[in-house]
């Protein structure tokens, strides 16, 4: 047990932290890519897609939107218009039953234990808020969105800048030191720690994550719970 009080808030990354990287790169990304052209043909006149495409045109003026989006996908760009369009495509897939989210086995039971104990759980991912919500609504265990009190994407700021984590703490109305941030990416943890958050690296063997030497680390959320005095699944 730690000497200090358990965190009031646990802030979680998704990819490589609570969901396998393979699910994102081998299931979600290809699903969106193969349907992108048809989606644009059907939905290009809808207000949110018009706005996303206008933002894309500022990045590559005059280039065909499909070409730009595919190029951004190729380099896994963390840009809001791409993430929004991907999220819209995934929403259709989840609604049709073609997609079901994949979390690590320790994740949902541990989040349920934390939620039941009164710990606030929030998500901070480069994926859009819409996409984050979809993952929790369509888990293999059913709709688990109610476990999450707040969702943050890169509209609040880049994940490798301390100011983003300070803004999240302000949004949650808690001191930065009351927040524990969990991620597999050491640079994100360093940024969060610079903002005053407690941090822990998730080192998932299936994802090939290499443990850093700067921050605490754990292989599963149950281990995080033991290290930081949080509730554990029965």
Residue 229 has pLDDT above 70, yes or no: yes
Neighbouring residues of 181: CB distance < 8 A, sequence distance ≥ 6: 11, 12, 13, 124, 165, 188, 189, 192, 197, 198, 199, 200
Q: Using 50, 70 and 90 to split pLDDT, how confident is the model at 4?
A: confident
Label residue 10 left, alpha or beta by phi (over 0 means left) and psi (-120 to 50 means alpha).
Answer: beta
Q: Choose between 84 and 149: higher pLDDT.
A: 149
Q: Which domains does the chain have, with CATH numbers?
A: 9-19+101-228 (3.40.50.1000), 24-95 (1.10.720)
Percentage with pLDDT > 70 across the chain? 99
Note the pLDDT of residue 100: 94
Whole-angstrom CA distances from 180 to 148, 173, 189 are 15, 14, 10
CA 105 remoteness from chain centre: 17
- Give the mean pLDDT of the chain: 94
User: What DSSP assignment string belongs to 8-47?
Assistant: SEEEE--BTTTB-HHHIIIIIHHHHHHHHHHHHHHHTTSH
Note the pLDDT of residue 1: 41
Q: Using 50, 70 and 90 to split pLDDT, how confident is the model at 3?
A: low
Label residue 16 left, alpha or beta by phi (over 0 means left) and psi (-120 to 50 means alpha).
Answer: left
Residue 137 has pLDDT above 90, yes or no: yes
Q: Give the start-end residues of each E strand in 29-119.
A: none
Mean pLDDT of 58-79: 90
pLDDT in tens, 26-45: 999 999 999 999 999 999 99
């Amino acid at each position: 047990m730690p000497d200090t009080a358990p965190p009031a808030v646990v802030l979680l990354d998704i990819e490589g932290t609570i969901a396998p990287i393979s699910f994102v790169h081998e299931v979600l990304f290809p699903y969106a890519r193969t349907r992108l052209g048809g989606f644009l043909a059907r939905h290009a006149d809808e207000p949110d897609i018009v706005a996303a495409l206008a933002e894309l045109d500022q990045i590559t003026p005059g280039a065909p939107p499909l070409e730009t989006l595919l190029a951004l996908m190729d380099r896994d760009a963390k840009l809001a218009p791409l993430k929004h369009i991907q999220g819209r495509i995934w929403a259709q897939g989840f609604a049709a039953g073609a997609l079901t989210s994949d979390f690590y086995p320790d994740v949902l039971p541990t989040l349920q234990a934390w939620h039941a104990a009164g710990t606030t759980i929030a998500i901070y991912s480069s994926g859009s808020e819409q996409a984050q919500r979809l993952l929790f609504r369509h888990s293999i265990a059913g709709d688990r969105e109610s476990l999450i009190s707040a969702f943050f994407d890169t509209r609040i700021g880049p994940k490798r800048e301390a100011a983003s984590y300070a803004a999240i703490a302000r949004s949650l109305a808690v001191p930065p030191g009351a927040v524990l941030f969990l991620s597999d990416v050491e640079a994100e943890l360093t940024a969060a720690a610079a903002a005053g958050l407690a941090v822990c690296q998730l080192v998932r063997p299936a994802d090939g994550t290499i443990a850093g030497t700067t921050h605490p680390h754990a292989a599963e959320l149950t281990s995080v719970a033991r290290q930081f005095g949080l509730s554990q699944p029965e």
